Amino acid sequence: MKDTFKHKGLRQQLVNVIKAKGIKDTNVLNAIGNIPRHLFMDSSFLDHAYQDKAFPIAADQTISQPYTVAFQTELLKVKSGDKILEIGTGSGYQCAVLCEVGAKVYSIERQQELFKKTSKFLSKLGYRPKKLIFGDGYKGLPDEAPFDGIIVTAGAPFVPKPLLSQLKIGGRLVIPVGDDVQIMNLFIRKGSKEFEQHELGEFRFVPLLEDKN
Ligand code: SAH
C-alpha cells in the first residue's frame, strides 16, 4: 500500500479538474486531495485512479466518479461531528471522504464480500467510521437515527420512506432517483412532515437493489 509523490501530484490535478467543474467546498476539495484513491481500486486500474471517472471494483460494483462523490458530499453540507448515514459502502472511498470532512459515518452495504473487504481496508488505511453495517439500505438505520445527513450512492427507483423519516429537522438526504439515468435529488427536512426538494441534474449509478426475501 504505497502513496507516492507521483500519486500526490496526480491527485492535485484531479482536485483542479473537479474545481473547474464547479466544486467549491474547500473541505471536500482537501479530502479528494488527501485520499489515495488508487488504493481503493483493483490494481489493473491503477493508472486510471486519478482520472475523473467511475471504475469497476469487486462484486460487479463501481467506485463512483470523483466529481460525483464531491458533488454529493458538498450537498450534504457536513459540519464537524455531524452524524451521516451512507447507503452503499462499496469501495469505501465516499466513506473516507465523509470521514475526512469530519463526519461520524455510518455506512450500509448489502454485499457481504464488499462489506468484509472494505471494513478491513478502511481500518488498515486509518479511517474510523462509527459503524459499517452489512444490511439493506432501503431500511436506513433506525437504531442510530436521526441523522444530520443521508447519502445514497446507488440509483434508487424511488425515495425510500425510512430515509426521509430518519432525518433530523434541518437534515439533508442526497439521493439519485431513476432507473437507467438518475436525477440527483436533495431533500431538506423542514418539519416532521415537510420537506423541501431540489432536483440537481442527471447522473448514472449502479442500481440500489431491493432484497427479494
Ligand atoms: N460509495 C461507494 C459506491 C459504490 S456503488 C464508493 O465510494 O465506492 C454502490 C454500492 O451500493 C454497491 O457496493 C452496492 O453493492 C451497494 N448497494 C446496492 N443496493 C444496496 C442496498 N439495498 N443496500 C445497501 N447497499 C446497496
Q: What was the pLDDT predicted at 212?
A: 57
Region 134-145 average pLDDT: 97
Residue 123: is its pLDDT beyond 60?
yes
Active site residues: 64
Q: pTM of the full predicted structure?
A: 0.96
Give me the phi and psi of 156, to 5 degrees please.
-95, 130
Sequence-distant (≥ 6) Cβ neighbours of residue 73 within 8 angstroms = 25, 28, 31, 94, 97, 98, 101, 151
Find the 57 Cα to ligand 1 centroid distance in Å. 11
Region 81-92 average pLDDT: 97
> What distance in Å separates the CA atoms of residue 86 and residue 106, rounded to the nearest whole number?
6
Q: What was the pLDDT predicted at 44?
A: 73
Sequence-distant (≥ 6) Cβ neighbours of residue 80 within 8 angstroms = 101, 102
Grid look-up 427507483 returns 157
> Residue 11, Cβ neighbours under 10 Å: how many?
21
Region 150-166 average pLDDT: 98
In 3D space, the residue among 96, 102, 57 whose CA is nearest the CA of residue 81 turns out to be 102
Find the 141 Cα to ligand 1 centroid distance in Å. 15
The DSSP letter of residue 208 is -
Residue 120: is its pLDDT beyond 80?
yes
Residue 178: is its pLDDT beyond 90?
yes
Q: What was the pLDDT predicted at 47?
A: 75
| Mean pLDDT score of the chain | 95
Find the 5 Cα to ligand 1 centroid distance in Å. 31
Residue 106: is its pLDDT beyond 80?
yes
Residue 213: is its pLDDT beyond 70?
no
- What residues does ligand 1 touch, defined as CB less than 6 Å away? 61-64, 87-88, 90-91, 93-94, 108-111, 114, 136-138, 153-154, 206, 208-209
Please give the C-alpha separations between residue 207 and each of 56, 114, 115, 154, 181, in angstroms, as whole numbers: 14, 16, 17, 5, 10
Contact 28, 70 (CB under 8 A): yes
